[in-house]
């Protein structure tokens, strides 16, 4: 008799986007012909950079000839891509890493979800609230999150509220937590941590033997100098942090699939009796070699092209486009009196609902009165109540039209 992993039965349904779809469909039935503007999508919309397209076409041609054909590649990724990453993403920021500290993957979601496998199930963990759902759900699946209480919070998860009251800066815990997930620039709030703030986390982690999982998927959107692109810009971080990067939001790779994870050689965790420090890099390498057979050669050639001079220019053009959307939206919303956060170093705006209005009420107000679709903040965690997420990934005309409608109707 096969027994299921009962932790899966504890998973709350992922209703957020289906609840939104239901409400939108209801609106469409009662308002046929009304044009809606979707600013809720968390996916890019601009096509791939030309340089990536050319590189991927060429990679397909390589596959067509016996002399240049590639079968299984290294599980950790091809050297050509790892070298480009080290040279362009880290060396210019004063971070020196060795090739064996880089693991190419098929996107950051896989590794942020899988990384917990190399750690005991009974570590304690903490997340910022609101949060990208993968971090908590992947821990529920292995039993690490504990039990769910009446408010939908998990017994073994410490929630670090990020709201306007604390300027979206999570407070350093007053107790030891074994594993902490940080995502900066943040999805969903679009806010960041300065070097000074991030250093407090690294210092906390070093003092408490905490492991930080740092998700930097939106690194390419950073505009301000005091915002770190990598946690390894902070001294000591190689001893306490794993960093996740992705080409998805950087270069439109959400459908191509490629990203990477940094597991420094110095990074260790303890055995149960606490007398031995075990390096995590060989553990993750072993895990990947057993369960992962590498990212496609074609995707990796496409990713390499992002670092060519043309690739860099084309990536910048697309990110500038989204960030100009973000600026127009932020300024448009502020001009009509809304409190809006994020959107300066990230493609997300975190809009505060008028006092006393819940996330869902505000969502419906925007839908019914302005015909604009956002994402209710409470869907990302209890501290998201009273907020709504708008993304800057849409078309310029749509973003501008949405601002006009909000100005006239709300």
Binding site for ligand PLP (CB under 6 A): 107-109, 132, 183, 187, 215, 217, 246, 248-249, 254, 259
Q: CA 201, CA 199: separation in Å to the nearest integer?
A: 5
Which residues does 278 contact at the CB level (< 8 Å), separation at least 6?
A: 268, 269, 270, 271
Nearest distance, CB of residue 317 and ligand PLP, angstroms? 20
Query: What is the Cα–Cα distance from 147 to 176, expressed in whole angstroms?
Result: 20
CB of 295 to ligand PLP, least distance (A): 11
Residue 110 vs 358, nearer CB to ligand PLP? 110
Give the residue with the Cβ less far from ligand PLP, 181 or 284. 181
Tell me how far, at minimum, the Cβ of 95 lies from ligand PLP, in Å. Answer: 20
107 within 8 A of 118, measured Cβ to Cβ: no
Residue 246, phi then psi, degrees to nearest 5: -145, 145
Cβ proximity to ligand PLP: between 49 and 259 the closer is: 259
Q: Nearer to ligand PLP by C-beta: 244 or 284?
A: 244
Shortest Cβ 214–ligand PLP spacing (Å): 11
In the complex with ligand PLP, the residue whose CB is nearer, 246 or 359, is: 246
List beta partners, residue 181.
127, 213
Taking the CA atoms of residue 39, residue 43, residue 48 and residue 49 in that order, the dihedral angle to the nearest 10 degrees is: 70
User: What is the distance between the alpha carbons of residues 109 and 114, in angstroms, rounded to a whole number?
Assistant: 8
DSSP per residue, 254-311: TTT--EEEE--TT-EEE-TTS--EEEHHHHHHHHHHHH-----HHHHHHHHHTTSHHH
Stated as kind and residue range, the H or E segment containing 18 is helix 16-30
In the complex, what is the shortest distance from the CB of residue 14 to ligand PLP, in angstroms, rounded to a whole number?
Answer: 15
Based on CB atoms, which residue is closest to ligand PLP, 294 or 332?
A: 294
- Ranked by CB distance to ligand PLP, the top (closest) residue is 107
- Min dist CB 297 to ligand PLP, Å, is 18
């Amino acid at each position: 008799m096969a027994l299921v992993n009962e932790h899966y039965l504890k998973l709350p349904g992922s209703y957020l986007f289906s609840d939104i779809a239901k409400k939108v469909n209801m609106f469409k039935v009662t308002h046929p012909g009304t044009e809606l503007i979707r600013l809720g999508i968390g996916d890019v919309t601009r096509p791939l950079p030309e340089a990536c397209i050319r590189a991927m076409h060429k990679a397909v041609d390589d596959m067509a000839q016996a002399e240049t054909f590639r079968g299984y590649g290294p599980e950790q990724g091809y050297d050509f891509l790892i070298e480009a990453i080290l040279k362009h993403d880290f060396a210019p920021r004063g971070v020196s890493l060795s090739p064996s500290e880089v693991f190419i993957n098929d996107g950051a979601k896989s590794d942020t979800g899988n990384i917990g496998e190399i750690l005991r199930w009974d570590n304690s963990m903490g997340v910022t609230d609101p949060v990208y759902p993968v971090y908590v759900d992947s821990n529920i699946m292995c039993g690490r999150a504990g039990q769910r209480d009446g408010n939908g919070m998990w017994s073994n998860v410490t929630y670090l509220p990020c709201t306007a009251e604390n300027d979206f800066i999570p407070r350093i815990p007053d107790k030891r937590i074994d594993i902490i997930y940080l995502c900066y620039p943040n999805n969903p709030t679009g806010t960041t941590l300065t070097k000074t703030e991030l250093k407090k986390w690294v210092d906390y982690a070093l003092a408490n033997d905490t492991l930080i999982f740092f998700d930097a998927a939106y690194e390419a959107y950073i505009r301000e100098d005091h915002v770190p692109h990598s946690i390894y810009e902070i001294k000591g971080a190689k001893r306490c942090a794993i960093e996740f990067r992705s080409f998805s939001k950087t270069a439109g790779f959400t459908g191509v699939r490629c990203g990477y994870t940094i597991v420094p050689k110095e990074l260790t965790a303890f055995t149960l009796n606490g007398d031995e420090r075990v390096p995590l890099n060989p553990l993750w390498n072993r895990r990947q070699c057993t369960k992962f057979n590498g990212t496609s050669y074609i995707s990796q050639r496409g990713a390499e092209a992002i670092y060519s001079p043309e690739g860099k220019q084309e990536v910048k053009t697309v990110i500038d486009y989204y960030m100009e959307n973000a600026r127009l939206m932020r300024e448009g919303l502020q001009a009509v009196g809304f409190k809006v956060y994020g959107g300066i170093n990230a493609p997300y705006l975190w809009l505060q609902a008028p006092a006393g209005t819940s996330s869902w009420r505000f969502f419906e107000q925007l839908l019914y009165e302005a015909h604009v679709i956002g994402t209710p903040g409470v869907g990302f965690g209890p501290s998201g109540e009273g907020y709504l997420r708008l993304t800057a990934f849409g078309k310029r005309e749509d973003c501008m039209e949405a601002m006009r409608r909000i100005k006239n109707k709300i």
